[in-house]
Chain A
Amino acid sequence: MVVLSLALTGCETKPSLQKYFVENSDNKEFLAVDISPSIINVDKVALSTEEKKALESFKKMNVLAFKTDGKNQQEFDVERSKVKEILKDPTYQELVKAGNGKDGAAIYFVGDTDHISEFVLYGCKSENGFAVARIIGDNMNPNDVMALFGLMKKGNIDMEQLKPLQQLMGSPK
């Protein structure tokens, strides 16, 4: 068990996506946003044990986005296929995928279904660009994830941290 948890917390040494994020966070074509658990602005005292556990299992979220501007189509194609290639690695287990050829989205996870160390969200829209989000945690399980969503829904999302993303999407929905 010790070995297992050691291996799972070792997710940050995962080569590819981590490396890709580091390499490109300063690239001017990319937009990098790091989100800390403090985005969920809740009164910790009022949380149920379940919610507390969920919040504790969530470490951070890193987002890397490529925005197309009409001049960087070539780079877009190159970078997108790089990301696709990385995500083909069996480390990233595909949960769901949807798309229509041009646009698409997918969710991957790292770990096993009861001990999830990372979620990877991928989304691509030909006109806007593509984005990859890594939700990094420590031993998350499906219930934690649902609890987190619940907490986010409860409101009090610290929008300040999301500002750069809004800029990418054009305008918030």
Chain B
Amino acid sequence: MKTIVKKIVVAIALIIMPSMVFAQSPFEKFADQDDVTSVVVNKKMFEMMSKVKMDASDKQTQVYINLLKKLDNLKVYTTSSAKPASEMKSSVTAYLKANPLEELMRVNDNGKNVKIYVKSGATSSQIKELLMYIEGGSGKGNETVLMSLTGNFDLDEISALTEKMKLPGGESLKKASQK
């Protein structure tokens, strides 16, 4: 009996597995680095969050729930020390070379350089990938931030996310989505 159950479990795991195998991100290496704070949210988490009953009477919550269903992966890496910061810079440059993304906007927000790149989907407002890079300096509150968000979402919807989750560079993103 137990072996049958085991087999079934393995079979199910095999079915589920492909959805779990994401293309290895070039930024993954920052996840286990000292002095780098990382947050990774996976598709399954977004999926679960979208299933939690919420009071969907107001429009903003509706937008939020709809958006959750369209997200795949969120990765945020933050650092305030020089070495990983320069590594981030070079991996962003390398990544953009290998995967041409469109520069959506570039702002100077309180002395910080914020750059947002996107990969469009079928229509120009459909986004498959959003990459945000904030070049910080040294010192507190001046972190270098690398954020990658993948899925198949609309740019206008992103502001719902920045409202609900406290994302770095939220203000810039908000501006970008209102363009």
Q: Count A-B contacts at CB 8 Å.
A: 86
Partner among B12, B32, B37, B42 whose Cβ is within 8 Å of the Cβ of A7: B12
Q: Are A97 and B6 in contact (CB under 8 A)?
A: no
Determine if A75 is an interface residue (Cβ-Cβ < 8 Å). Answer: no
Question: For residues 1 through 23 of chain B, which have their beta carbon under 8 Å from a beta carbon of chain A?
Answer: 2, 5-6, 8-9, 11-13, 16-17, 20-21
CA distance A48 to B84 in the complex (A): 51
CA distance A14 to B8 in the complex (A): 11
Partner among A6, A112, A142 whose Cβ is within 8 Å of the Cβ of B8: A6
CA distance A142 to B34 in the complex (A): 33
Q: Are B5 and A6 in contact (CB under 8 A)?
A: yes
CA distance A83 to B16 in the complex (A): 22
The dominant DSSP class at the A interface is mixed
Chain A residues within an 8 Å CB radius of B8: 3, 6-7, 10
Chain A residues within an 8 Å CB radius of B44: 93-95, 109, 113
Determine if A101 is an interface residue (Cβ-Cβ < 8 Å). Answer: yes
Q: How many residues of B contact A (CB 8 A)?
A: 32
Q: Are B20 and A142 in contact (CB under 8 A)?
A: no
Question: For residues 33 through 82 of chain B, which have their beta carbon under 8 Å from a beta carbon of chain A?
Answer: 33-42, 44-45, 47-49, 51-53
Separation in Å of the A127 CB from the closest CB of chain B? 15
Determine if B31 is an interface residue (Cβ-Cβ < 8 Å). Answer: yes
Q: Are B51 and A97 in contact (CB under 8 A)?
A: no
CA distance A13 to B21 in the complex (A): 24
Partner among A98, A100, A142 whose Cβ is within 8 Å of the Cβ of B51: A142
A interface residues with partner B (beta carbon < 8 Å): 3-4, 6-7, 10-11, 13-15, 90-91, 93-102, 107, 109, 112-114, 141-143, 146
B interface residues with partner A (beta carbon < 8 Å): 2, 5-6, 8-9, 11-13, 16-17, 20-21, 31-42, 44-45, 47-49, 51-53
